[in-house]
Amino acid sequence: MNLYQDYLKEIEERKSQGLHPKPIDGAELLSEIITQIKDVNNPERENSLKMFIYNTLPGTTSAASVKSAFLKEIILRQELVNEITPAFALELLSHMKGGSSISVLLDLALGNDVTIAKNAAEVLKTQVFLYDADTKRLKDAYDSGNAIAKEILESYANAEFFTKLPAVPEEIKVVTFIAGEGDISTDLLSPGNQAHSRSDRELHGKCMITPQAQEEIKALQAQHPDKSVMLIAEKGTMGVGSSRMSGVNNVALWTGKQASPYIPFVNIAPIVGGTNGISPIFLTTVDVTGGIGIDLQNWKKKVDANGNVVRNEKDEPILEEVYSVETGTVLTINTKDKKLYKDGEQLIDISKALTPQKMEFIKAGGSYAIVFGKKIQTFAAETLGIQAPTVFAPAKEISKEGQGLTAVEKIFNKNAVGVASGKILHAGSDVRVKVNIVGSQDTTGLMTAQELEAMAATVISPTVDGAYQSGCHTASVWDKKAQVNIPKLMKFMNDFGLITARDPKGEYHSMTDVIHKVLNDITIDEWAIIIGGDSHTRMSKGVAFGADSGTVALALATGEASMPIPESVKVTFKGNMKEHMDFRDVVHATQLQMLQQFGGENVFQGRIIEVHIGTLLADQAFTFTDWTAEMKAKASICISQDDTLIQSLEIAKSRIQIMIDKGMDNKNQVLQGLIDKANKRIAEIKSGEKPALMPDATAKYYAEVVVDLDVINEPMIADPDVNNEDVSKRYTHDTIRSLSYYSGDKKVDLGFVGSCMVHKDDLKIVSQMLKNIEKQQGEVKFNAPLVVAAPTYNIIDELKAEGDWEYLQKYSGFEFSDALPKSTARTEYENIMYLERPGCNLCMGNQEKAEKGDTVMATSTRLFQGRVVEDRDGKKGESLLASTPVVVLSAVLGRIPNIEEYKMAVEGINLTKFKPVSTKL
């Protein structure tokens, strides 16, 4: 019983950390526990029973298979366990939700013992996580005249698994807890530097917000045992930033309710609110758990007697409190009239939070049950040859006669599933769509694997064109945690059918390339829909949605996603870029000019940015689409010219071929299939059969933004504004400032060129700038460290072939070695240039980190508190975001340069340029 003894030791270790036993997912350990249960005299029998009943993970874990088999033996009376009657064994199977438990229930329901068959059938009628092998067994039994199979199918056709669930309470009482003022990033709820523990839900829950906040939540629960605690982003948006299922899991763990008494640390039904609502990605994740997300609108812009917005001396709108939600406020959610009340007084309409579809998610305990339930109902009705009764809320379908389609409307109509032939849908319509490309990243991948196990999926959907499991978020530091987690993740995903960054067999070189860059390369059709486990899943081909680990799992398992067709904002450009400007400055200026044009209202939030940027190749255009996560957009679409798109597809083909040459393709030859599809798409464009995607001239947009390139005279910097008197204005990406604001005297402690926001030309700019500075000053001397991390290995290979890498090596004081990966994160730096391994590096916050309290100038995307740099006593850490040339020069000078210094340093350098198309796209 070695495994059991080891488990007891681990339990004692966890107890010292204030943790319960880790849930069991391994077959070997559970087999030992079952042996002890069978031995009525075993001193560990009582403990073993508790572990078997209450602490074993369900789904497709190997432990679940062993548990299901033992429960089957009890039901068939082949084993006698006084504490687990056959009826209780069936109840335990009903909570296991899928995989081996379904196989066992089918064995029993289709077996010869009539009484057992009927009892098992009653349990099966409540289950929805059935796959092809399961439904085939039911159909075959029905076709053979099995009465029990017919009874089960009739129940499925009537969706009794849903209709017999308890109704959603008419009133839900909540007590408020202000989790923060201003936008609340998912980093606050699930810090990136704690990514290693995400699959250990109880342990990871300890990192949410602060220990003090956790105690305050517990105190509120003690004072209000009949109410749910609602986490609130006061004067901000809840859940901006990365797409974290772990963030919602943590909120549910602290404020939700247990999904099942027999499944540890899986909670559902969290309730969250924000003055400016909930970030779209986070709201999707809330739906996964059957929770509620409310746009509180409790602060409004002050207006004068003429209805004009009143502004302060900084020209910012002044906000007025409409009603208070301070911590401890008791509110009532009325799910019938869809209103929010306080002391019987109506505050706001919350019907958007309680749509018919969302009410179904709440009733079913999460969106997965509805997705799978609809499929089961359809299957059963088709098998019985009947029309399925209308049980679920009909999908909202909006079709406007004579109105053209935006790019996203075209993509969704092309990929729609279950829509009547010839029907055209516009924004606001609820649609099931085919997903073409799926990406799983390494710090959420273990959770995606857990979700796949929980929904009993064992193989990728055959309708998915390609899927990739990255290794970029753990690339820099190969520590003990990574050595335990990553090989396990890669094996699971490789077996499931994904292309994996690391080979479980060790036959090809580990590719730690940034996931967004890989997905951008393997997207070979601008009509594609992409789902990825990171908020920066925003490709410059197709339309890509960053998603939580659960939605990624659902896309992998079903090949589908469900969402309303989003509204779009059209972005076009006029004028010309100045010679000394970089395209990153255009990206930041777009955000600034949008806010100026719309009086401070972010019209991008929750919508598609349709950017007409047709002259830029996919690599460079990705800098724009990537940043749209920071603009709070739901996604973005690049409208490209035919010849530009063809060039981008050719580059994608060459990079996919490199992956094939490395040995990364699988038995289904997924990567070769992508090259074949790219060739087909190129042929369609060249022949004129199907030109590059364009919106219709008569398409309607929520808003249109025209970016004036002529007014961009200086580099633009996104500033966290850490000392703003208004706390809610700190750490947002909306404060965009020009270089001159800093007067050339703001100290910079560290520079970082890397992450997904840079491409090959950025690395060439680094080498060209250093050559320039050496020519002008005789030498290159760094007054602050400069960390450089290429996004991908193929970029390094291309730089080597083009002669730029040797210059980077010349000026560097450290170069990564794959043969000698770091085992600890660097937190202290010398004033040299570090050439780091491809991957996310400083941007993630779980690998390298700046010294506490530093001011960092970076090309990355994140300026959240504590992400790239943490605070120290007396000095806030701040991460300012800028173009590559600004970052390089800031590291050389040790301060932000003035405009004259900047112009001199970039003289003659080919910065990333953009020129609007002369003809209307």
pLDDT in tens, 29-55: 999 999 999 999 999 999 999 999 999
Beta bridge partners, 303, equal: 309
User: Residue 769 has what pLDDT?
Assistant: 92
| Chain mean position to CA 414 | 24
d(CA 567, CA 764): 38
User: Residue 194 has what pLDDT?
Assistant: 84
Residue whose tokens read 């724009």: 624
What per-residue string of b and e applies to 221-239 under the rule 16 or more CB within 10 Å gives b? beeeeebbbbbbbbbbbbb
- Look at residues 443, 565, 451 and name the one whose alpha carbon lies nearest to residue 191: 443
> How would you classify residue 663: left for phi > 0, otherwise alpha for psi between -120 and 50, otherwise beta?
left
High-pLDDT (> 90) share of the chain, %: 77
359, 350 contact by CB (below 8 A) = no
Pairing assessment for the beta strands 833-836 and 635-639 based on DSSP bridges: unpaired
Torsion sign across C-alpha atoms 364, 367, 372, 377: positive
pLDDT in tens, 226-276: 999 999 999 999 998 765 788 999 999 999 999 999 999 999 999 999 999
User: Residue 122 has what pLDDT?
Assistant: 98
One-letter amino acid for residue 876 of the chain: K
- Look at residues 713, 736, 761, 728 and name the one whose alpha carbon lies nearest to residue 588: 736
- Kindly report the length of the chain: 921
pLDDT in tens, 306-330: 888 888 887 778 889 999 999 999 9
724, 730 contact by CB (below 8 A) = yes
Beta bridge partners, 568, equal: 608
Say what the pTM is.
0.84
* Beta-sheet strand order (sheet of 568-574): 635-639, 608-612, 568-574, 703-708
pLDDT in tens, 48-75: 999 999 999 998 889 999 999 999 999 9
φ, ψ of residue 893 to 5 degrees: the values are: -80, -25
**Which parts of the chain sit beneath pLDDT 50?**
none
